[in-house]
Amino acid sequence: MKSPDYFVDEMVFGAFKSFRHEHIFEIQGTGTLMTDVFNYLSPLGVLGKLANVLFLNKYVTDLLVHRNKTLKEHAEQ
């Protein structure tokens, strides 16, 4: 963490082979721009890569978009 500009969520153990989610905050005019850098590796080799292509990439993207929309709504109240 480098408050208030940056923090990272990183998996120690869990379902993914690796999982790292960086949050970068930059002042932009009268607001704040939040940039997500999201990297993960699925387990199970070829099967994990297939899961990425079939559904996981879209699921993770949709999850981040929904989560960020909710965060924005709460932050702007």
pLDDT in tens, 20-47: 999 999 999 998 899 999 999 999 999 9
Residue range(s) defining the domain that contains residue 49: 6-75
Question: How many distinct structural domains can be found in the chain?
Answer: 1
**What tokens does 70 get?**
């909710």
For 39-72, what is each residue's pLDDT tens digit?
A: 999 999 999 999 999 999 999 999 999 998 998 8
pLDDT, position 74: 87
Q: Could you tell me if residue 1 is inside a domain?
A: no
Q: Could you tell me if residue 66 is inside a domain?
A: yes
pLDDT, position 70: 92
CA atoms within 13 A on the CB side of 62: 5
Sheet hosting strand 18-28, strand order edge to edge: 6-10, 18-28, 31-41
Where are the strands (E) in the chain, listed by range? Answer: 6-10, 18-28, 31-41
What is the spatial distance between Cα 62 and Cα 28, in angstroms, rounded to a whole number?
Answer: 25
